[in-house]
Chains A and B, each alone.
Chain A
Amino acid sequence: MSAHSLALLKASGISKRFGGVHALSDVGFTINHGEIYGLIGPNGAGKTSLFNVLTGIYASDGGEFVFDGLPLNGLKPNQVADRGIARTFQNIRLFANLSALENVMIGRHVRTRANVFGAIFRDAKTRAEEKAIEKRAYELLEYVGVHKRANSLAKHLAYGDQRRLEIARALATEPKLLALDEPAAGMNATETESLKLLLKDVRRDGTTILLIEHDMKLVMSVCDRVLVLDYGKKIAEGSAGDVQKDPRVIAAYLGGEVSLNLRGAA
């Protein structure tokens, strides 16, 4: 395979400022097809900002993303989703008052075509499409294991199920890259373990994953490569094992000189 076909997403020089705060400065990385790519860093390191720039929620102040051979710059979030990047949110953003099934059906929006006239006249094509949407949505619920609560409102699902439902909704958009923002946050050990299996299934079925996560055990066990951010800068990139041993990463997580000084002061 050539280098071009290997890389799904290539980021270079990504910068984002909020006033005087450099949330991201000159971040560059490459995610290959079929990888599970981890994105870690202490709180406030810029991980979610990077997600928001990638998915078009924020406009970047510099740099560019090339996704699947084409640049992403200037696209709106819905156009980014259309190009094949689906995401979940750190603070779950389901459609709380809609059923689990409907949440996933909404995910099919971007891959279906029925317009107002189709909706009003319900021609054969629209009916067939509608049937296919429901079928696919139910399959995805089964895939993530929430199908037993298909008709429950999203807000009434257990926390772990909500996280899984969000993944199902994202998968419904048929993404090439699935971007997950702390999917294991708030999960217990059993739930995290089954999430791990789900992520491996998703990858096996052909979707590349970009994963923000604080649960190091999960990151170390599923990620092929990991990018470490600190204060908006890339401080390390490599295999999970290598990154773990990197002194800069250890300093970022356990505290470097600054916190040693503080300890001395106290």
Chain B
Amino acid sequence: MHALLDLKQNPRTAWIGLALIGVALVVLPFALAAVGTAWVRITNLAILFVLLSLGLNIVVGFAGLLDLGYIAFYAVGAYTYALLASPHFNLHLPFWIVLPIGAAVACFFGALLGAPTLKLRGDYLAIVTLGFGEIVRIFMNNLSQPVNITNGPQGITLIDPFRIGSFSFAERETIAGLDFTGPVKYYYFLIVVLLAVIVINLRLQNSRIGRAWEAIREDEIAARAMGINTRNMKLLAFAMGASFGGVSGGIFAATQGFISPESFVLVESIMVLSMVVLGGMGNIWGVILGAVLLSFVPEVLRYTVAPAQQALFGRLLIEPEVIRMLLFGLALVLMMLFRPAGILPSALRKRELESRK
């Protein structure tokens, strides 16, 4: 994939390849809408998970800091959006103001989590971050008294969709004979955000900052001896990862129109981490692949497992949800056995293989 899309090595195939991918991404929502609008929604959710995985990849893949509470930043972003753009406080700020605020608030929480955990690594860090994720969720659940801030377990409803002037992302309209439903509009918005996040990730990775993170991941003592301020660099990794989570959370709140603490449970953190690990920690394309696979396969199963069982046995033997978790576990075990570095391992190893030929 890298060789084919390398603009310098063979520009022609690369441009053709990129153009094809571009066209596919533009046409995709209409193809999906033909099958059912539900699939456009599923795709949007999958893109949100790709965004989350790319954010978590900065913390886990680049800087090597195991974070089991990442979903907390998604929650912070979602609640920031929901509180500033819903009837709950009767605030209706536009999304281009609320999303950056959400990113900033999540960024602050990222630093807040990073600061006390600077000296921790590995399992200890995992435990603290896990606790942090739970604390945030429990706060969301209970901040309805004495002053009602989050509306507790009921969550916040009627959250504003994105709106630019009279153009609303939630309304269906027909432009140039094409049917633009709400999810299709959000899809294009998400693709733009996704491209920006991919570019930011790639550029961060191949920069002085990205190398400093890699150094910390490889050997923290040596990194410090080489003059890297590990405290600042770790805080930066937490803050950057968290702000991506915050932006994703804001978009999530707007697309769903409703959020509650239930969306931000520990399993979601583990899911995002699994996407990063399955795809190939530290490799952006691998992480994207992992996120897409783990978001889509369960949905495909949901639509195929029950009918298949009905056809074969005449009744439902195993619930789709159970099969989903079974396959999920199996996939992770197989991966650890056969491709421990992920489906698409990081580019460095590939480069090493090439230099040995």
Q: A residues bordering B, Cβ < 8 Å?
A: 55, 57, 76-78, 81-82, 86-87, 89, 93-99, 102, 105-112, 114-116, 118-120, 122, 126, 129-130, 133, 149, 151-153, 156, 169-170, 172-173
Contact = CB atoms under 8 A, between A and B. Distances in A.
A77 to B, nearest CB: 4
Contacts of B236: 116
A98 B218 contact: yes
Contacts of A57: 221, 224-225
Interface residues of B, number: 31
A81 B225 contact: yes
Interface in B127-177: none
B221 A93 contact: yes
A167 to B, nearest CB: 13
Given A102-B211, A109-B227, A110-B227, A95 B218 contact: yes
Contacts of A106: 211-212, 214-215, 223, 226, 228
Contacts of B223: 95, 106
Interface stretch (B13-21, B202-210, B249-257): B202-210
A219 B352 CA distance: 36
Interface string B313-354: 000000000000000000000000000000000001101100
Contacts of A149: 355
Contacts of B351: 99, 151
B218 A89 contact: no
Given A112-B208, A133-B208, A98 B227 contact: no
Contact of B355 (A97, A108, A152, A170): A152
A170 to B, nearest CB: 8
B10 interface: no
Contacts of B349: 97, 153
Given A57-B225, A81-B226, A118 B348 contact: no
A129 B356 CA distance: 30
B222 interface: yes
Ranked nearest first, the 6 interchain pairs of A and B with the lowest CB-CB distance are A110-B227, A81-B227, A119-B207, A95-B218, A93-B222, A77-B224
B219 A119 contact: no
Contacts of B212: 106, 109
Contact of A78 (B210, B228, B348): B228
A116 B209 CA distance: 7
A76 B207 CA distance: 24
Nearest to A110: B227
Contact of A156 (B218, B226, B228, B352): B352
Interface string B70-95: 00000000000000000000000000
B222 A94 contact: yes
B355 to A, nearest CB: 5
Given A120-B203, A133-B208, A110 B226 contact: yes
Contacts of A97: 218, 348-349
Max count, chain A CB within 10 A of own CB: residue among B210, B211, B222, B355: B222
A130 B226 contact: no
A231 B207 CA distance: 45
Contact of A109 (B204, B211, B240, B348): B211
Nearest to A152: B355
A76 B225 CA distance: 9
Contacts of B225: 55, 57, 77-78, 81, 86-87, 89, 93
Contacts of A78: 224-230
Given A86-B226, A151-B355, A173-B227, A96 B218 contact: yes
Given A82-B227, A130-B208, A99 B218 contact: no
Max count, chain A CB within 10 A of own CB: residue among B200, B203, B204: B203
Contacts of B208: 108-109, 112, 114, 118-119, 129-130, 133
Contacts of A55: 225
A201 to B, nearest CB: 21
Nearest to A102: B211
8 contacts: A95-B223, A98-B348, A109-B215, A110-B226, A118-B207, A119-B203, A173-B226, A173-B227
Nearest to B196: A120
Contacts of B210: 119
Nearest to A83: B227
Given A95-B215, A109-B212, A116-B236, A89 B222 contact: yes
